[in-house]
Structure 1
Amino acid sequence: MATKVAVVTGANKGIGFAIVRGLCKRFDGDVYLTSRNIERGKKAINDLEKEGLKPKYHQLDVTDKQSLEVFRDYIQKKYGGIDILVNNAGIAFGRNSTEPVAVQAEQTILGNYFALVTTSEILNPILKNGARVVNVSSSYAHLSNIPSLALREKLKDEKLSVEGLSALMQEYVEAAKQGTHAADWGNSSLVVAKVGVTALSNIHQRLLSSRDIKVNSVHPGFVDTDMSSHNGPMTIDEGAAAPLYVALDAPDSLRGQLVWFDKQVVPWDGVKPDREF
């Protein structure tokens, strides 16, 4: 029987690194730590090997279509497809960032949302039937963070397509460039990006259900990482707990949901929990 394979993007540090660690300890198959920077990726592999673990490595830049295609072809030839895909790669500007709002909006949406769209277009076709996809998101992803009722209705519409969602994300970027974004979208580019990630997860679940593929997004908690400017009280291993639960332990009935750090399902368009971490 072919060896199973799990893939984690953006995994040379932080939560992604801890997810690889957890998968190496429990997943019955090969685990790929991927990163944009080869040197940092190899160092991460070496650090895990010192713990007695045996991750594999492949370079992968989720913002580079060619890099994604090279990786897809390699995995398809070697394993016949992917059993677990953890989309962890993402970017965030620090709270004290001085870049203009327009720049932050464009880069944040590109690095978190549009990169996931491209990754999914290239890697989803080689997901094995029954595979699990975990999109690492945030408490920011809760739909209540979007001020406009009209936008919230569009984002949760079950007829929304990837193209329609991408158009909405681009509308936000253009509004940010014009300085007219706040009333409808709020003042956080990361909120919009992570709402987009969860909306995309829901669309992909509808598209992939016929292949018994489970797609969920996860808020890992407020974790001490570069993404949180190291303000989070949780360790990276604590932050990996919910993503690992969704990847390995959740019932097959868990599909198209937003899962909180405590492994509880949170209604995306319901009341946002007050437990951030």
Structure 2
Amino acid sequence: MTASTPLFNLTGRTALITGSCQGIGLGIAEVLAQMGARIILNGLITDEEARPALNKIRKIGAEVIYHQADVTDESSVENMFSKNESKFGSIDIMINNAGICYPHTIEEISLQEWQEMLNVNITANFLCARAAFKRMKARKWGRIIQISSVTAHQGALFGHVHYAASKGAQLSFSKTLARTAAPYNITVNSICPGIILTDLLQRTYPAEKIKELADSVPLGLGNPYDVGAAAGYLCSESGRYVTGATIDINGGMNIR
């Protein structure tokens, strides 16, 4: 990179963001679209249900498609990559954002729920990162980002040990893959959001608990675009020398 390199320009790049029809995933998609990237949205909802998210990206002026796929299923992931490559060509940016969260204590968590949490929050990341890596490796360029959580550092505030465990696993996964990927000009990083005002947060906690959480954070609640801005930096040429790192977007909730 030189002083004349466009620092925050993703024109010509294609980004696949899992779990991206709402919340943090959609916020990331909007920011990357504003930077010029082509966007592949993903989720389990129907094409019709994804239309509002698609329209948001189209209003920005970016090319965008939606692919319904279960990212915990190996064949579904491979099919998603193959089909979207035929549409947009190479997938340059892989954002592993899909996730679930249940606010249950260890005594309330069944083995089935534990396994579901790990399957969605870490196994899906492995499947998507593996599919992306083997393609990026051949082109010697790529960006892989895990959307983890502040709970990976400090533990969950209200139980849900399975969620915190899965988010901690994402950080170790990223650090190790970063070493493997670096010789091929592929960076692998993690973003740890704090309390971001999303539909998921509002479904997980009652309004009075959300206010209590907001009051406990020095800068208050964040929004999905705060996370998107960090992702945009890591995906751009400005972030070319950052790999194996974790960026905290938590408003001062956890200062390391």
Cα offset, 1:98, TM superposition: 9.4
> Paired residue for 2:133?
124
Write the distance in 1 (CA, Å) between the matches of 2:160 and 2:105.
14
Write the distance in 1 (CA, Å) between the matches of 2:79 and 2:146.
21
RCO higher in structure (CA 8 A, sep ≥6): 2
Q: Secondary structure at the match of 1:112?
A: helix
Determine if contact 2:96/2:145 at 8 Å carries over to the other structure.
Answer: yes
List 4+ stretches of structure 1 deviating above 6 A: none
Q: Is it true that 1:19 corresponds to 2:7 in the alignment?
A: no
> Paired residue for 2:8?
none
> Paired residue for 1:258?
246
Between the two proteins, what is the percent identity of the paired residues?
Answer: 25
> Paired residue for 1:5?
14
Q: Is it true that 1:217 corresponds to 2:228 in the alignment?
A: no
> Paired residue for 2:7?
none
> Bigger CA drift: 217-226 or 11-20?
217-226
Write the distance in 2 (CA, Å) between the matches of 1:35 and 1:24.
18
Which amino acid counterpart does residue 117 of structure 2 have in structure 1?
Answer: T
Cα offset, 1:274, TM superposition: 2.9
Q: Secondary structure at the match of 1:260?
A: strand
**CA-based RMSD:** 3.0
Write the distance in 2 (CA, Å) between the matches of 1:239 and 1:223.
9
Write the distance in 1 (CA, Å) between the matches of 2:238 and 2:200.
26
Q: Secondary structure at the match of 2:122?
A: helix
Determine if contact 2:189/2:243 at 8 Å carries over to the other structure.
Answer: yes
Write the distance in 2 (CA, Å) between the matches of 1:51 and 1:3.
16
Match for residue 39 of structure 2 among 14, 18, 31: 31
Give me the TM-score of the superposition, normalised by structure 1.
0.71
Cα offset, 1:66, TM superposition: 2.1
Which amino acid counterpart does residue 274 of structure 1 have in structure 2?
Answer: N
Determine if contact 1:136/1:219 at 8 Å carries over to the other structure.
Answer: yes
Q: What does the per-residue CA deviation read over 1:197-248, in whole Å, with 9 as the maximum and x for residues that have no partner?
A: 1111112112211211000010123101244336362222223222222222
> Paired residue for 1:68?
77
Gaps of 5+ in 1: 147-185, 264-271
Query: Size of the alignment, in residue pairs?
Result: 226
Cα offset, 1:129, TM superposition: 1.6
> Bigger CA drift: 238-247 or 72-81?
72-81
Gaps of 5+ in 2: 1-10, 215-220
Determine if contact 1:220/1:241 at 8 Å carries over to the other structure.
Answer: no
Write the distance in 1 (CA, Å) between the matches of 2:96 and 2:179.
18
> Paired residue for 1:90?
99
Give me the TM-score of the superposition, normalised by structure 2.
0.76
Distance verdict in 2 for CA 1:46–1:76, change over 3 Å: closer
What pairs up with 1:1-277 in 2 under 5 angstroms? 3-27=12-36, 29-38=37-46, 39-50=48-59, 52-94=61-103, 100-127=109-136, 128-142=139-153, 145=155, 188-228=161-201, 229=204, 231=210, 233-248=221-236, 250-261=238-249, 274-275=254-255
